[in-house]
Amino acid sequence: MRLERLQLQGLRCIADASADLDAGFNIFVGANGAGKTSVLEAAFLLSHGRSFRSGARDVLLQRGAPGLSIFSTVRHDNGDLARLGLGRAGASRWDARLNGEDVPIGQLIRECAVVCFEPGSHALIAGAAEERRRYLDWGVFHVEQEFLPTWRRYQRALKQRNSLLRTDASLDDGLYGPWEQELGRSGSLIDAWRRRYLEALVPNLRNEAARLIPELGQVDLRYRSGWPEGEDLSATLASQRGRDQGRGHTTAGVHRGDWSLSFEHAPQREHLSRGQEKLVALACLLAQARVDAAHRGEWPIICLDDLASELDLAHQTAVLDSLLEAPAQVLVTGTEIPRALQGSSVKVFHVEQGQLSPLL
């Protein structure tokens, strides 16, 4: 799939800008603070409903602007065209539109898949478990239609149980039981989907890691459900009520799940250099893109933010060569055209003070 046209209003320093994108490589070049990352952020927002940068949602809205909007046309490989829109007026909730109709945001983000490697991506390896769960669940969301409603049921039951833990000292079965049953049912489904997704991911991850970081040797992935292996989740929750009450929150369930990688020559995460963490994160993201491509029959859009300052030339070349072969639409940013792409057929946009101009 590819983004054909991207129109942005009121996003960070971008008051009003648009770009007609190429089906292959698109490079956004400009000085620091020009608005390059904001262009990738817009594509990511359409496909995730959130930014990849930390901070409150409010900082996305240009200071003083009445609202923020992102429109794009997405061309699928079978020729179908979808018109996507995402906007917010002031501090209100997101409004999502698909082909001119108001839709729930989940429907919008299912339509468009964007995988983004950016300076914060190493958090996938070195950061909190929440980052790894988000990565995993984004992949599962795109392959399992029932993931989103199931995840919402789980979150609702979790909120209810946490609220009981803080307000009800009785530990009464009648109060806790229904929520724990729901957590057990929806949590077990999510856990099974996550495991199935990882089975598809691991061979792709091994290929990407062998291409990008062969010196680390074979990679193994270990997944932990978030409760003791082989136990029934609702029974675990029932037996842990007292302990959870002391802690004020639910300590077992898919919201505590995590995964980790271990390489033949770097068994622990602490054995990786900062640059290797980034390469491992990139291998995970490219593997996710390959799983998505195999499932949909078309490649997701790949965004590479500040590529030249994140990777050395040999690794930039390895990544870009594999994406050229893919073939995927790729959006890259940099203060100049990355050396690995000089001389290639690419569309270049100059970004300056939130304005985008194609360079001929």
Binding string to ligand ATP for residues 258 to 297, with x set by CB under 6 A, is what? ----------------------------------------
Residue 171 as a binder of ligand ATP (CB under 6 A): the answer is no
Give me the count of residues in the chain: 360
DSSP state of 59: G
Shortest separation between residue 32's beta carbon and ligand ATP, angstroms = 3
Select 61 or 115, whichever has its Cβ closest to ligand ATP. Answer: 61
Residues 56-95 that bind ligand ATP (CB under 6 A): 59, 61-63
Q: Of the ranges 28-36, 140-148, 232-240, 322-330, which one interacts with ligand ATP (CB under 6 A)?
A: 28-36
Select 38 or 186, whichever has its Cβ closest to ligand ATP. Answer: 38
Two tokens, residue 303: 């965004």
Residue 172 to residue 41: CA distance in whole angstroms: 47
Binding string to ligand ATP for residues 290 to 329, with x set by CB under 6 A, is what? ----------------x-----------------------
Beta bridge partners of 115: 302
Which residue from 1, 2, 9, 35 is in contact with ligand ATP, where contact means CB under 6 A?
Answer: 35
Residue 9 as a binder of ligand ATP (CB under 6 A): the answer is no
Two tokens, residue 44: 């990511």
Residue 136 to residue 313: CA distance in whole angstroms: 29
Residue 160 to residue 259: CA distance in whole angstroms: 27
Residue 1 to residue 65: CA distance in whole angstroms: 31
Beta bridge partners of 333: 28
Phi-psi region of 79 (alpha: psi -120 to 50; beta: other; left: phi over 0): left
Annotated binding site: 30-37
Instruction: Please report, as ranges, the residues that interact with ligand ATP according to CB under 6 A.
Output: 12-13, 30, 32-38, 59, 61-63, 306, 333, 335
